A and B are shown apart, each in its own frame.
Chain A
């Protein structure tokens, strides 16, 4: 297993992928964190018409406010990376090389997952650092008091948010990996994953609002937010685990049994 993790790590740390991912994460985190601070009291500075004030941001929760907002996008970045890293083995024909050097298909699959999970952890941590640094940087101009941001409560919330975002990102990533194994093409896997998560789920939710509680991407995002009024954190964890378990089992069984004929 260690050998697969190391091998996959070599592919993930290639400069083009690593730097472009970190640049994307920086851009998204910077955008969302900046928007929160730049539009304080504007009445339209957060999602769904909710408003945020300097006083609210001065609380312990203010430290992670921007960080939380970028959660769904970190998930989508992970979905794209996990899907392409999995499906490209088919399109490049490199899967046969991997299986000749490591015949245990489950070791290949789990090793790849562990390596990509480490990559996702780096991505989430990096987003956290960028968001917090930017929050401190913008707090002065926005007249946000940061005294409570250094409290143990704020640090605890930071740890919790990081963990929740990591779990949500991994869920999105696993969805990408499952789609990659099903479709064996990065373009198909990514487009279907992103289309479903960003558009189709929202259309379904708008038409039948009760479905949002049971749709995969909505629950993944809810984990990142630490739960919501519509669905509890535990509910989302359970539903997400169920989706991942069922989808993952089918994809793993296919991967294990399918002939490598390309």
Chain B
């Protein structure tokens, strides 16, 4: 059995002389929630379009659900997708827009009211799409992606325009789908969101894959911090010397010390400070967030 829902091997797309994505290699394991991260213009949407058969790659290959992307007709009936935001016919109602896609894909029309209910649009299903708010349009896009009861769900910025409760609902929905065995491949610029739900990550920068793997492995590989604040600001210099003498690098930011060290060193620092007559107001080990890691990694690549 194939353990990857998506396998990308050396995929490249060049527009004129501008590469949108170069020699991309990554895997998305079956059943995972995989985040696709990268700044604007890093090649996320181009890659997604190639996976969906909308764009022909310049080089390389990819497999989706065990089938080559040269034959999208073999895997697309099992794939749900929302690419670059929702796109529907403004003069049709939300429900009618879904019926158009259900007809097209040969899915039962009876799924339409169920999906509208699922994404919280049951009340507004009969309203014209052009009257929807951005958040409602986004929900309709997600409903359309769920039409085939997909094995693989590909979502490009699904939380755009949603309010905090909407974002939370989508997060729960993706978790629920993942529990049911759906593989979710989701791109977003809300890194904190991805950190909360993604077990895997593919990180892009300037059209190149700079990380692919487990989220916790990426975060663990980054240097953790200890943030210590002395009770009196006059003790800052003395405390910096203690830390540096112990072989750790340190920065002073807004009355606190940011020490590059493992969380376990907190106890030692507390003891050393106490022995030198310094009382610490607070001391806390901080793991880097995905956002910090992302910026650190993308800066490193510059």
Contacts and interface: CB of A to CB of B under 8 A. Distances in A.
Contacts of A4: 104
A229 B13 CA distance: 56
Given A93-B84, A96-B83, A14 B54 contact: no
B173 interface: no
A95 to B, nearest CB: 8
B81 interface: yes
Given A11-B92, A94-B88, A100-B81, A6 B49 contact: no
B265 interface: no
Contact of B49 (A88, A102, A104, A261): A261
B166 interface: no
A121 interface: no
Interface string A247-262: 0000000000101110
B130 to A, nearest CB: 11
A101 B90 contact: no
Nearest to A102: B104
B89 A96 contact: no
Interface string A187-217: 0000000000000000000000000000000
A102 B73 CA distance: 7
Overall SS of chain A's interface: helix
A218 B75 CA distance: 47
Interface string A80-99: 00000000100011101111
B245 interface: no
Nearest to B54: A260
Contacts of A88: 89
B97 to A, nearest CB: 9
A47 interface: no
A94 B76 contact: no
A16 B91 contact: yes
Contacts of A92: 87-90
A10 interface: yes
Contacts of A102: 104-105
B76 A100 contact: yes
Contacts of A101: 76, 101, 104-105, 147
A7 B107 CA distance: 12
A103 interface: yes
B100 interface: yes
B54 A96 contact: yes
A103 B55 CA distance: 12
A101 B144 CA distance: 10
A180 to B, nearest CB: 15
B87 A94 contact: yes
Contacts of B40: none
A101 B106 CA distance: 9
Interface in A48-100: 88, 92-94, 96-100
A100 B79 contact: yes
Contacts of A103: 53, 72-73, 76
B114 interface: no
A6 B107 CA distance: 12
B89 A11 contact: yes
B103 A10 contact: yes
Contacts of B84: 93, 96
Interface in A13-42: 14, 16-17
A234 interface: no
A156 B91 CA distance: 41
Contacts of B144: 97
A122 B147 CA distance: 32
Contact of A259 (B55, B87, B92): B55
Interface of B: 46, 49, 52-56, 72-73, 76, 79, 81, 83-85, 87-92, 96, 99-101, 103-106, 144, 147
Given A10-B92, A261-B46, 5 more contacts: A92-B87, A96-B84, A100-B76, A100-B83, A260-B49
Q: Which 4 A-B pairs rank lowest in CB-CB distance, beginning with the nearest?
A: A93-B87, A101-B105, A7-B103, A260-B54
26 contacts: A3-B103, A3-B105, A4-B104, A7-B100, A7-B101, A10-B100, A11-B100, A88-B89, A92-B88, A93-B84, A97-B88, A98-B104, A99-B52, A99-B53, A100-B52, A100-B81, A101-B76, A101-B101, A101-B104, A103-B73, A257-B56, A259-B55, A259-B56, A260-B55, A261-B54, A261-B55
Interface of A: 3-4, 6-7, 10-11, 14, 16-17, 88, 92-94, 96-104, 257, 259-261
